[in-house]
Amino acid sequence: MPSFDSFPTLYWFPVYALCWALLWLAIRPEINGRLFVTLAVVMLFLLRLPSIVFDYEINPDESQMITQALTLRHDPVYFRSVDGTTGGPLDSYFLIVPSFFGLPFDYITAHLTAFGLIAVCLWLLYRTATRWFGETASRLALLPFIFMLGLTQNGDFLHYNSELIALLLLSWSYYLYATLLRQKEPSLFRIGLIGLLLGMVPFGKLQAVPLAAVVGLVVGIDVLIRPNLAISAKIGRIVTLGLCALAFPLLVVLLTYSNGVYDDFVTFYIIGNFRYAGNTDQVQSLLRLPEFFQKGSEFDWLVKFVALISVAGLVMTFRRKIHLSVNTMQVGGFIGLLLIATLFAITRTGSEYVHYLFFLTGPLLFLLAFGWKQILEPNRLGYWLAVGATAVFLALFGVQTIPKFINKIPVNLYSSEKQNGWAVPQSPVAAEVRKYARPGEKLAVWGWRCDYYVQTQMPQGVAENHTIRSAFDHPMLADYQKRYASDFMRSTPPVFVDAVGSQNLWMNDRKTQGHELIKPMGQFVASHYTYVGLVNDTRIYVRNDRVGGLAASNQPVAD
């Protein structure tokens, strides 16, 4: 297992040099498309390798999803054993797949999985762009995304997040739509497959539904405006699209109903998530987009780069008075609608989490490919302008990174030199928990420290493995508190961790946020558990049968 310190000089400079080599290969016509995209994916892997082998959470969300996958491996009924709150069921189920190949439920596995999903998405987007804008424009459009997603140190683009499964489904549907536009008669099978993918999107991320709706709309319009299709053929394809889009949601309803968790599905996934975004000022969120983009670090460069090139391409299109075919107008309309829907989706909650920006990957790559296509067409000058601009974008990473080496500012924020190979580092809390329980037994953590589940390899004993919705004031507070207490009393895990304190994310005040704020919960813990001590400002409770009922002294109980 390779490891990297904070200044991986012997690694960073050769890999950065390979980025320039990739740019040179991108403009070589003798390099075919498959070889180029393969080299681009390998380049992305090399660039992300220091963060991939970092066996600790880059973002707390990935601990949440790893824990949910670990739990589902023991109890596969979602909404009974697991509730991913804003993340959909597919995000957690997909993380189970690597375990079938012997990989552990840990951060390296999650980082590898995230890389794989991003690589497939970029490949699909590249294939889509080549169908619309040609090979050269698409290569030059892909490169900035490879460089940004590989060279960035912003953890929101490096960790396994809840946007990636929905992004994969959407990227696949974009590609299928591009193939439909080239068919004289749109394939019934591909239309059905698009419908199926779109129906799965809400179970990756509800937030992505507007993007899926755009794809469904443009596919339906394409079918309706086909002059060579009979009315019956059009109706058959529209019906197929609709029925296939409903197939997966209906399967989810059937499975949740048969497992007795349908009410939880509706209450906590549908109603809970719509209320989560219910008080947002949409206009104000849209006006804050420039600040939102800046939170994405180098992503802000990418947005400005794409905006400049796509506007230049649009100006050249109008100046040359290019006749637009129906197919071209469909593609342009699709990209425009997709961009609008994406901006709506990422600003809807007002949360401005940087990983939401992943949804912009598709429309931005298409806009950049469009811009390069228009700039490349007139003469050789446009060709060298495209190459030079991409080179400047790549050079920006060197300009900001090389001074860090000189001034001893960490270049790699994900140092793995002190890791014990492929093993999750153990915290004092995890070590204490494992004195009383074994991997595979259930654990409950009050607060937001899902990494304790991963460190101990213990599945969660409650559906929601972080408890901000059971602690902070909101319209459904009573529902979340009732479920948490019920889940806890049902599973009665051997160890209970109240992580509220200085080491907790967002929950630091025991007097107002400790588990005792749910009175039945506090009473049950007091009756059935023994307080064994404060470890790293975290209260540890052990079920009485594991410790003989002997309590530790000086328990810092909430008043």
Q: Which pLDDT does position 549 carry in this prediction? A: 47
Q: Which pLDDT does position 350 carry in this prediction? A: 87
- Cα separation, 526 vs 535, in Å, equals 19
Q: Which pLDDT does position 317 carry in this prediction? A: 83
Q: Determine the angle formed by the axes of helices 361-376 and 107-133, rounding to 10 degrees.
A: 40
In order of 376, 397, 480, 518, the CA distances from 244 in angstroms are 40, 44, 33, 44
For residue 85, the Cα-to-chain-centroid distance in whole angstroms is 14
* Segments in 134-187 forming alpha helices (H): 135-151, 164-181
Q: Which residues contact 235 (CB under 8 A, 6 or more apart)?
A: none
Nearest Cα residue to 362 out of 30, 84, 132, 180: 132
In order of 126, 156, 373, 433, the CA distances from 37 in angstroms are 8, 24, 18, 46
Q: Which pLDDT does position 548 carry in this prediction? A: 66
- Secondary structure string (H, E, C) spanning 333-379: HHHHHHHHHHHHHHHCCCCCCHHHHHHHHHHHHHHHHHHHHHHHCCC
Strands 443-446 and 495-498, bridge-based pairing: parallel
Q: Which pLDDT does position 326 carry in this prediction? A: 66
Nearest Cα residue to 541 out of 518, 512, 515: 515
Q: Which pLDDT does position 153 carry in this prediction? A: 96
Q: Which two tokens stand for residue 81?
A: 């054993």
Strands 443-446 and 529-535, bridge-based pairing: unpaired
Beta bridge partners of 535: 538
Contact in structure between 444 and 492 (CB atoms under 8 Å): no
Q: Which two tokens stand for residue 127?
A: 């294939």
The answer to whether the predicted template modeling score (pTM) of the entire model surpasses 0.85 is: yes
- Cα separation, 1 vs 15, in Å, equals 18
Beta bridge partners of 205: 87
Q: Which two tokens stand for residue 530?
A: 């023994």
- Cα separation, 310 vs 308, in Å, equals 6
Q: Which pLDDT does position 558 carry in this prediction? A: 57
Contact in structure between 134 and 373 (CB atoms under 8 Å): yes
The structure tokens 């302008």 sit at 385
- What does the pLDDT look like over 120-161, one tens digit per residue? 999 999 999 999 999 999 999 999 999 999 999 999 999 999
Q: Which pLDDT does position 559 carry in this prediction? A: 46
Q: Determine the angle formed by the axes of helices 209-224 and 326-347, rounding to 10 degrees.
A: 160
Nearest Cα residue to 445 out of 435, 431, 430: 430
- Cα separation, 28 vs 199, in Å, equals 40
Q: Which residues of the chain have pLDDT under 70?
A: 276-280, 321-326, 378, 548-559
Contact in structure between 285 and 344 (CB atoms under 8 Å): no
Neighbour-count burial for 139-166, b at 16+ CB within 10 Å, e otherwise: bbbbbbbbbbbbbbbbbbbbbbbbbbbb
Contact in structure between 137 and 376 (CB atoms under 8 Å): yes
- In which order are the strands placed within the sheet that holds 538-543? 443-446, 495-498, 538-543, 529-535
Q: Which two tokens stand for residue 128?
A: 């889509």
